[in-house]
Structure 1
Amino acid sequence: MTEHHIQLTSAEIASIWAGYMNDSMSKCVLGYFLKTVEDVEIKAVVQYAFDLSSTHIKKLTTIFQEEQIPTPTGFTNSDVNLNAPSLFTDPFMLVYINHMAKLGLLGYSGFVAMSARDDMRAYYREGLSKTSELFERSSKVLLSKGLFIKAPYIAYPTNTDYVDSKKYLSGFSLFSKQRPLNAVEISHLFMNIQTNIMGSKLAQSFAQISPRENIQKWMLRGRDISKKHVQVFSKILLNNNIQPPVSSDIAITDSTTPPFSDKLTLYHMGFMSTAGTGNYATAAAASQRSDLIFNYERLSLEVAQYAKDGADIMISNEWLEQPPGTLDKDQLTNKKELKN
């Protein structure tokens, strides 16, 4: 029986394209980390992450070639200066990898769910497994060094209960006190505090190394947005007598020598903004207090506008690579009519 080649679906094309872009960016960042990291335990985690991205790029390149789809440009050696002095501390590198592993787990699980071809599902299942191992390794080192930030503790419940009033869903009231946060709402507030702390540090470091004034301003704006969002979420926890977990100062050095191109740093912040918007949407859907939902929705708009302004800068510099898409049928028809 003759086996016919099964064409990739639009979802699978989108997945391999996004995977290539993200892994080529990660390889640049992690390659630079390898040149500057000093701690032996952290270096082992960086090496594992670098090897993972390198392997993914090779496999994805093969898929593009086999399917006769143009391989994206992504990011190359021209986007990283491996000889630049250290910009990040070793603990920051470890926290960064742990954070990116979390995003990778979400991404790969989504890619598995969207894939129809057996080989595509197998590739993303393997990616999910390897990324889970990366998260495990980075978490263990973080715990051993006292750098792992845990979510807040709450008292164990003593019994099951049901919501007995519509007030449970209300977060705005002039005449009654807001109900306490539940565990689901606390977990999302905690996660979004941590991701915004990472975002603010990255934005600060990228502003520090950029030679372009407009990009410096955009990065500093991102830093300030992240700081504001941390304050909003922390205040909600504090108002519920919950101390927001605070990370140690694991930030950046005083170096101003660019290890990365502005093209890479803008893409990176755009990627972080997209992930943040997704986190907010998930948090809003999971939260049951209306004030929390309102906050996530209004803050999402701020992130979306910030990301759009960053994309405009990339477009003006011809740095924004276009994802694969469908042909404009109307445009094709108009061209045909003009020829006739």
Structure 2
Amino acid sequence: MTEITKLTSAEIASIWTSYMNDSMSKCILGYFLKDVEDEEIRAVVQYAYDLSSAHIEKLTAIFQAEKIPTPTGFTYDNDVNLNAPRMYTDMFMLTYINHMAKVGLLGYSGFVSMSARDDIRAYYREGLNETSKLFERSTKTLLAKGLFVRMPYIAYPTKTDFVDTKKYLSGLSLFSKQRPLNAIEISHLSMNIQTNIMGSKLALSFAQATPRENIRKWMLRGKDISQKHVQIFSQTLLKNDINPPVPSDVCITDSTTPPFSDKLTMFHMALLSAAGTGNYATAAAASQRSDLILNYERLSIEIAMYTKDGADIVIKNAWLEQPPGTKDKEQLTKKKDTME
């Protein structure tokens, strides 16, 4: 009988992270299903909910087969109030799913590349395909309803060209005009505007509902940071006579009844902060103007400080579930010495 190869640390990290994210998504999408009215949007929400539910079942089976404790994650009983009044509009739900599908595409592609065992790679290849279909369905629905926000247009180039001066890389000179943004830089600025708008709306909704003052202040701080970053990126585009891709108001209602536990909302904001930091790192690496690179780096530090303060709140309330890790070998040695 052939022995099945044990999971690597990367594979354990991948399935653990996936379980946490999918259990959170199932809670949020289940709450959406309670309120969604538009039948076309409902179909997208239902598809996303079914994917998360199926993923949790498959991941649970993997944990059980490997005799690894299944994470606690998030559950309907502990983390969702289905009796809470409507918090989000149908438009918000659709935009949210489209945004989270983008995050999922990045996540699944990374999990595929880190996995070696056939069954784990197959799971993440399938997940990548499913998430791609979710992104496609949500995008088509946004387009059909006139809600999809396109990236800015630029004039088609008429010839190929090469950089012939180091000034192309400079964006900080006091004695010369900054060169115009290139298409790559425009696309990253535009994407980060849209992700920050979504983040600010979510933070506002969480602040609006939480009964805890310290979490309310932390959420509002997150909203302010996101809005500040939107302004910085938008001003950069406007200085180049490019209109920023700002959507119609993605609405939340005036309900103050918490639909989700503070544990879930804090986890969600940490997830968005991590995704945002990754987006900024990618944008900095792709950008060639030095002022843009410095902006992304300093704004990433601001996000890191915000995330650290959020982690302190989570730890204080014993909400931070610890990922699987190795044993402290030095501590084990000390314990052995004391026994002798």
Match of 2:203 in 1: 203
Which residue is 1:26 aligned to?
A: 25
**Which residue does the alignment assign to 1:96?**
96
Alpha-carbon offset, residue 172 of structure 1:
0.5
SS in 1 for 2:148: coil
| SS class of match (2:153) | coil
Distance 2:104 2:198 in 1: 16
Q: 2:115 & 2:252 partners in 1: Cα distance?
A: 39
The whole-number CA distance in structure 1 between the counterparts of 2:232 and 2:40 is: 35
Query: Deviation of residue 4 (structure 1)?
Result: 1.4
- Which contiguous aligned blocks of 4+ residues in structure 1 show a shift greater than 4 angstroms? none
Cα deviations by residue, 1:12-53 (Å, 9 ceiling, x for unpaired): 000000000000000000000000111110000000000000
1:4 matched to 2:23: no
Partner of 1:227: 227
Match of 2:16, as an amino acid? W
For 1:236-315, list aligned pairs within 5 A.
236-315=236-315
- The residue number in structure 2 matching 1:172 is 172
| 2:121 pairs with 1:109 | no
Aligned Cα RMSD in Å? 0.5
Per the TM alignment, residue 185 of structure 1 is displaced from its structure 2 partner at its CA by: 0.4
Match of 1:163 in 2: 163
State the partner residue of 1:333: 333
For 1:339 and 1:290, how far apart are their aligned partners in 2?
59
- In structure 2, distance between residues paired with 1:275 and 1:38: 30
| Identity of matched residues, % | 77
One-letter code of the match for 2:111? F
Please list the CA deviations of residues 252-293 of structure 1 after superposition, one character each: whole Å capped at 9, or x if unmatched.
000001110000000000000000000000000000000000
- The aligned counterpart of 1:123 is 123
Distance in 1 of aligned mates of 2:129 and 2:337: 52
TM norm structure 2: 0.99
Aligned-partner Cα distance in 2 for 1:337–1:304 = 40
Count of aligned positions = 339
Alignment partners' CA distance in 2, 1:309 and 1:176: 40
- Which residue type is aligned with residue 184 of structure 2? V
- 2: CA distance between counterparts of 1:278 and 1:75? 24
Tell me the alpha carbon deviations over residues 97-147 of structure 1, each in whole angstroms, 9 at most, x when there is no partner: 000000000000000000000111100000000000000000011001111
Take 2:297 and 2:337, find their aligned partners in 1: how far apart are those partners?
Answer: 46
Q: Distance in 2 between matches of 1:153 and 1:338?
A: 70
Q: For 1:313 and 1:39, how far apart are their aligned partners in 2? A: 37
Could you tell me which residue of structure 2 aligns to residue 39 of structure 1?
A: 38
Q: CA deviation at 1:5?
A: 1.3
Aligned-partner Cα distance in 2 for 1:318–1:174: 51
The whole-number CA distance in structure 2 between the counterparts of 1:89 and 1:14 is 34
Question: Which residue in the other structure is 1:152 paired with?
Answer: 152
| Local SS of the residue matching 1:156 | coil
Deviation, structure 1 residue 203: 0.2
| Superposition deviation, residue 3 in structure 1 | 1.1
Q: Please give the alpha-carbon distance, in whole angstroms, between the structure 2 residues aligned to 1:177 and 1:264.
A: 47
Distance in 1 (CA, whole Å) between partners of 2:337 and 2:182 is 62
CA contact (8 A) 2:193 2:246 kept: no
Deviation at 1:250, TM superposition (A): 1.7
Specify the SS of the correspondent of 2:298: helix
Give yes or no for contact 2:237–2:243 (8 Å, CA) kept in 1. yes
Structure 2 match to 1:49: 48
Partners of 1:6 and 1:36 in 2: CA distance: 45
Shift of 1:338: 1.3
8 Å Cα contact 2:184-2:286 kept in structure 1: yes
User: SS of 1:108's equivalent?
Assistant: helix
Aligned amino acid, residue 38 of structure 1: E
Q: After TM superposition, give the deviation of residue 327 of structure 1 in Å.
A: 0.7
The alignment partner of 2:81 has SS state of coil
CA distance in 1: counterparts of 2:193 and 2:173, whole angstroms? 25
d(CA) in 2 for partners of 1:25, 1:285? 31
Match of 1:317 in 2: 317
State the shift of 1:64 in Å: 0.2
The answer to whether the 8 Å contact 2:186/2:237 transfers is yes
> Which one-letter code corresponds to 1:42 in the other structure?
I
2:142 and 2:309 map into 1 onto residues whose CA distance is: 35
